[in-house]
Amino acid sequence: MVTLTFPTWMEPYRALATGKVSRDQWQALMRQLLWPVLGIGLFLLLWQFAAQRIDTSLGQFPGPAQVWEQAGNLVSEHQQSREREVAFYERQEKYIAARLQQQPDWEPVTRDYTGAPTFFDQIGTSLITVMSGFLLASMIAIPLGIVIGLSSTVHAAVNPLVQLFKPVSPLAWLPLVTMVVSALYVSDDPMVSKSFLTSMFTVSLCCLWPTLMNTAVGVTSVSQDLTNVSRVLRLNALSHVRKIVLPSALPMMFTGLRLSLGIAWMVLIAAEMLAQNPGLGKFVWDEFQNGSSQSLGRIMVAVIVIGLIGFLLDRLMLMLQRALVWDKASAQR
Amino acid sequence: MKALLELSNVGMQFDTPKGSFEALKDVNLKIADGEFVSLIGHSGCGKSTVLNIVAGLLHSTDGGVILDKQEVTEPGPERAVVFQNHSLLPWLTSFENVELAVKQVFKKTKSRAEIRDWVEHNLELVHMAHAMHKKPDEISGGMKQRVGIARALAMQPQVLLMDEPFGALDALTRAHLQDSLMEIHAQLGTTVIMITHDVDEAVLLSDRIVMMTNGPSATIGEILDVKVPRPRDRLALADDPTFVRCRQQVLQFLYEKQRKVEPLPKRTDAETGAVRKRA
């Protein structure tokens, strides 16, 4: 049976629409709507106030209004670029058709459109890069974490290394990764660019650790009672891991994955700046190098977008966690 | 009496930071097929240790346990355990919890349909057929314990080991579960060893009550035959002279002969017989 109900957080709005709002619901409304809106408003005011007092070599620091304007510019630039692209392909098709008419044995040559990536293209690149790096890291960290959690010997052997590499900043890894990628990834017809690989590996190296540690802890803390059940049932080592250990460790594992994805996104921006991978990081860097009067406003747009995407990625992981993890209490926030 | 299960000279020493601690000494017990035996004693007297040794979760440092002519060396489904806190896997439904055990024990001998029927049959036996597809979080403590019993019974054990199975339940639920357990025992004739703190429970359910002395070096103090005919009815038994006498004897043992000496020593893992993580 399916019943349509409002999610609990929507209840106060429904009540507001019908005009019957209880005391608790007023409080919920204030908490969900009023205080956040006031907070953001206050922040905008402070920002505006402070921005007017900062003069940089690139002009005045952008306030909310200028940033909003630049956001509009970025959107329209994107639209113009798309129009140019469409026009380019139309022209090419017409040209080919015309030439084929005159010269039927001619082999047509098609060319790709080569306009500079727009802000939105760069967001796409960043998302692909961060997800690749995150997936690679998870593929390494989860199995390794399970092994570390299961064996105190492996734990003792690996732990010093983990503690040593965990705090390393992406900036320290990057030159090494760049050189290794350049040396090993040699191909005449590369599938992906070197800058993509460099950024991806740097992201992986930096975001590996929370998943690794949390998986290991999750595996170690499997309840003694459940282990006893497994022993009485004489589950073999593989079934024991599959049926008892993995499901028990799943909530912790997800906590680690969420932390890892957060770190991955943060690291990515720095990695892209230095590796010149055509993503948001490069956008920020290019604008900084460009140094026009609009640059700071455009960078500020990027900052806000980076924050929003990071937030959305976290929510996405949380939704995934809620869908997959049996322990609903572990996925509350 | 032909013994199905025999404990001979079982002793247990735990290594503690303060040196060796002797939890059990010279435990000798023979249990016949189909018998219902309770172990009773004050906390820390090593009841759980005895049960864990029979289960194979602990290895005795002296003596040994023989079940059906075979020495017990490791845990196994022929000695199914009902744990005090139910120990159901929280991510599986009741059905799946029982199914896990059934698949493990009968995967070579039963077909898929037979496995399903057997799981359902055992859940019906404990009156849990209506909540088969609920997860442990969605059912009450008593219901969880019923599923735990179904899981153990579904393994068709030679001995059913119960570690204070109803200790964490309220009195009414406990009475219900005791009645269910008597019913099942009458129906299946399973051999049961049950640990309990509850004198009434011990007398109501058991054929024999094994009373343990206080530790350290705990051992069997007295064994009481409960010669009350079955089926037993808890209301009728309240005034039954045999029942009342048995009850008194257990109480006397616990509160006169083996009165717990105050102040209570600080309990450690070793003394309560908790099974530590396998290396």
Give the chain A residue whose CA is nearest to the CA of B105. Answer: A233
Pick from A239, A254, A238, A247: nearest CA to A219: A247
**Chain B residues touching A227 at Cβ < 8 A:** 277-278
Give the chain B residue whose CA is nearest to the CA of A228. Answer: B57
**Rounded Cα distance, B7 and B210, in Å:** 13
Among B156, B174, B208, give the residue marking a domain's end.
B156
Answer yes or no: do B202 and B262 share one domain.
yes
Q: Which domains does chain A have, with CATH numbers?
A: 122-331 (1.10.3720.10)
Question: Taking the mean position of all CA atoms in its chain, how far away is CA B159?
Answer: 9
**Rounded Cα distance, A315 and A248, in Å:** 23
pLDDT higher than threshold 80 for residue A41: yes
- The 3-state DSSP class for residue B182 equals helix
**Rounded Cα distance, B276 and B273, in Å:** 9
Spatial CB neighbours of A259, under 8 Å, sequence gap ≥ 6: A210, A211, A214
Q: What is the pLDDT of residue B261?
A: 60
**Chain A residues touching B79 at Cβ < 8 A:** 232
**Rounded Cα distance, B39 and A54, in Å:** 81
**Rounded Cα distance, B59 and A226, in Å:** 19
Give the residue from A151, A154, A229 with the most B CB atoms within 10 Å of its CB, the best one to mutate.
Answer: A229
CA distance B158 to chain A (A): 13
Look up the domain containing B109 and give its range.
81-156
Answer yes or no: do B196 and B65 share one domain.
yes
Give the residue from B104, B106, B162 with the most A CB atoms within 10 Å of its CB, the best one to mutate.
Answer: B104
Answer yes or no: do B195 and B222 share one domain.
yes
Q: What is the pLDDT of residue B251?
A: 92
Across chain A, what does the average pLDDT equal?
89
Does any domain span residue B208?
yes
Strands B19-32 and B70-71: unpaired
pLDDT tens for B95-130 read 999 999 999 999 899 999 999 999 999 999 888 999
Does any domain span residue B21?
yes
Q: Tell me whether residue B243 is exposed, middle or buried, using C-beta atoms within 10 angstroms of its C-beta: 0 to 12, 13 to 18, 19 or more.
A: buried
Q: What is the pLDDT of residue A186?
A: 82
Give the chain A residue whose CA is nearest to the CA of B90. Answer: A326
Identify the DSSP state of B79. G
**Chain B residues touching A225 at Cβ < 8 A:** 83, 85, 87
Q: Tell me how far apart the 2 most distant CA atoms of chain A are, in Å.
A: 84
B57 touches chain A (CB under 8 A): yes
Long-range contacts of B225-228 (CB under 8 A, 24+ apart): B228/B203
Question: Taking the mean position of all CA atoms in its chain, how far away is CA B125?
Answer: 18
**Rounded Cα distance, B199 and B38, in Å:** 10
Instruction: Give the length of chain A.
Output: 333
Among B156, B180, B205, give the residue marking a domain's end.
B156
Tokens of A319: 């939704």
Answer yes or no: do B99 and B67 share one domain.
no
Q: How many domains is chain B partitioned into structurally? A: 2
Backbone angles phi and psi of B264, in degrees to 5: -65, 130
**Chain A residues touching B274 at Cβ < 8 A:** 224
Sign (positive or negative) of CA dihedral A196, A202, A206, A211 = positive
- The 3-state DSSP class for residue A134 equals helix
Q: Cβ(B54)–Cβ(B193) under 8 Å?
A: yes
Q: Tell me how far apart the 2 most distant CA atoms of chain B are, in Å.
A: 57
pLDDT higher than threshold 90 for residue A189: no
Among B129, B156, B183, give the residue marking a domain's end.
B156
Tokens of A199: 């950024």
**Chain B residues touching A152 at Cβ < 8 A:** 279
The CA–CA distances, whole Å, from A54 to A47, A60, A279, B78 equal 11, 6, 28, 79
Give the chain B residue whose CA is nearest to the CA of A251. Answer: B91
Q: What is the pLDDT of residue A3?
A: 55
Give the chain A residue whose CA is nearest to the CA of B155. Answer: A233
pLDDT tens for B181-225 read 999 999 889 999 999 989 999 999 999 999 999 878 889 989 999
B90·A231 Cβ contact <8 A: no
Any alpha helices (H) in chain B, and if so which ranges? 47-55, 94-106, 112-125, 141-154, 171-188, 199-205, 234-237, 241-252, 269-272
**Chain B residues touching A249 at Cβ < 8 A:** none
Q: What is the pLDDT of residue B78?
A: 93
B277·A233 Cβ contact <8 A: no
Lowest mean pLDDT across A181-190, A227-236, A290-299, B69-78: A181-190
In chain B, residues 242-261 whose CB comes closer than 8 Å to chain A:
none
Does any domain span residue B264?
yes
Q: Which residues of A touch B (CB under 8 A)?
A: 152, 223-229, 231-235, 239, 243-244, 247, 250, 326-327
Answer yes or no: do B200 and B269 share one domain.
yes
Does any domain span residue B172?
no
Answer yes or no: do B208 and B238 share one domain.
yes
Identify the DSSP state of A245. I
What pTM was estimated for this model as a whole? Answer: 0.80
Answer yes or no: do B229 and B253 share one domain.
yes
